[in-house]
Amino acid sequence: MRIYLAGPDVFLPDAAAIAAAKKAICTRHGLEGVFPTDPVEDAAAEAATDRFMKVYLWNEAHIRSCDAMIANLTPFRGPSADAGTVFEVGFMRALGRPVMGYAHADANFRDRTLAFLGSAARRRDAPDEWEDAEGLHLEHFGLQDNLMIDGGILASGGRIVTRAVPAERRWSDLSAFEDCVAALAALHQN
Amino acid sequence: MRIYLAGPDVFLPDAAAIAAAKKAICTRHGLEGVFPTDPVEDAAAEAATDRFMKVYLWNEAHIRSCDAMIANLTPFRGPSADAGTVFEVGFMRALGRPVMGYAHADANFRDRTLAFLGSAARRRDAPDEWEDAEGLHLEHFGLQDNLMIDGGILASGGRIVTRAVPAERRWSDLSAFEDCVAALAALHQN
């Protein structure tokens, strides 16, 4: 069972080491981890002239070749997960294959958004309802992220493992990731 | 031709008015606009007990029923587009249907990220390469957003219309949106 390892881990200075560590965990659970930067042959990517388009098509080819996904949904430069990762979660959900997510966070989406907005957040004329400085509402379901992400993962048969870790381990801790691997391995055996 | 109107417009205080205005533009171009909050019948959504899951499944049913998508990718609470919208772009790309995007922005993704990070951004030991305070690289392709978004939209046969508009019209200006509608209408006729 091939698992696409989605996440902003590709931007880490030690991305290769994280890739190797994630793959080793997958192997230990009888699964094969596929990292976005792994080599892949794809005719459309070969034909593309722009570097970004080659990278896009390589990633898409990897996702299509995988049976499931584990997405690192740790908040990235704002209240939500990395946009590239979120795109990939939506893509895999549409393919109908299971997606697991994990996030290193200590508050839910609404409360992270409130913290992000700070004094720019405004109360609405209803108990515990908020909007931003431009009047756009803050969704408030107690979820890990925007409801499309939580909903899509649940609809796929997966779930999100949220764990608070010390700030210095935000991008290196792999215990929640391993919980996702174990969940997919169990799914695979049943 | 049914067009799913993706975007954080659903969070606007005047969401119903924006929905009506977008649908009127679609109609003028011979297309049918479908807004996320439009009523839809879906057995899975009926069976869901959580409100957020009903909303997720309604949106998914709408997307599956549409022939194309226009996504509002205007930066939302950070350098990237709204996470729910990005999920939907990935979903529609996986279905193989055309996606157009528009964004009200006056800088590319890397430069918006630099502005967002401010003094937390650090130079890397290479010309014009940057990382954030945790060492994660800033991708630098001159695109509207993360390369998965730009790449997925281009791969779908669509494109992104980027336009700088005054701050007070960030969520109300519909000229870039209308360009997307016209592009889909032309695609439909060919």
C-alpha dist (Å) from residue B12 to A17, A148, A160, B19: 43, 17, 28, 10
Q: Which residue has the tokens 């729910």?
A: B84
Backbone region of residue B158 per phi and psi (left: phi > 0; alpha: psi in -120 to 50; beta: other values): beta
Whether residue B72 has pLDDT greater than 80: yes
On average, the pLDDT of chain B sits at: 97
Closest residue in A to B154 (Cα) is A53
Q: How far apart are CA B55 and CA B84, in angstroms?
A: 12
C-alpha dist (Å) from residue B132 to A189, B82, B123, B139: 41, 21, 9, 11
- For residue B177, the model assigns a pLDDT of 98
- For residue A187, the model assigns a pLDDT of 87
- For residue B187, the model assigns a pLDDT of 87
- For residue A51, the model assigns a pLDDT of 97
**Segment A179-188, tens digit of pLDDT:** 999 999 998 8
Whether residue B38 has pLDDT greater than 90: yes
Name the 3-class secondary structure at A101. Answer: strand
* E runs forming strands in A25-183: 32-34, 68-72, 99-104, 122-123, 130-131, 160-163
From A51, A87, A151, residue closest to B52, measured CB to CB: A151
Whether residue A73 has pLDDT greater than 80: yes
Query: Closest Cα of chain B to A8: distance in Å?
Result: 8
A90 touching B, CB under 8 A? yes
Contact assessment for residue A136 and residue B12, using Cβ atoms and an 8 Å cutoff: yes
Return the number of CB contacts < 8 Å for A and B: 177
Question: pLDDT above 90 covers what percent of chain B?
Answer: 98
Position B151 confidence tier, pLDDT thresholds 50, 70, 90: very high
Position B80 confidence tier, pLDDT thresholds 50, 70, 90: very high
**Segment B82-114, tens digit of pLDDT:** 999 999 999 999 999 999 999 999 999 999 999
B105 touching A, CB under 8 A? no
Give the ipTM of the model, two decimals please.
0.98
| Whether the predicted model's global pTM rises above the 0.90 cut | yes
Record: contact A86-B86, CB cut-off 8 A: yes
Calculate ∠ Cα A19-A23-A28, nearest 5°.
Answer: 155
Closest residue in A to B146 (Cα) is A84
- For residue B173, the model assigns a pLDDT of 98
Average pLDDT over residues A44-51: 97
From B55, B79, B87, residue closest to A77, measured CB to CB: B79
Average pLDDT over residues A57-72: 98
Whether residue B189 has pLDDT greater than 90: no
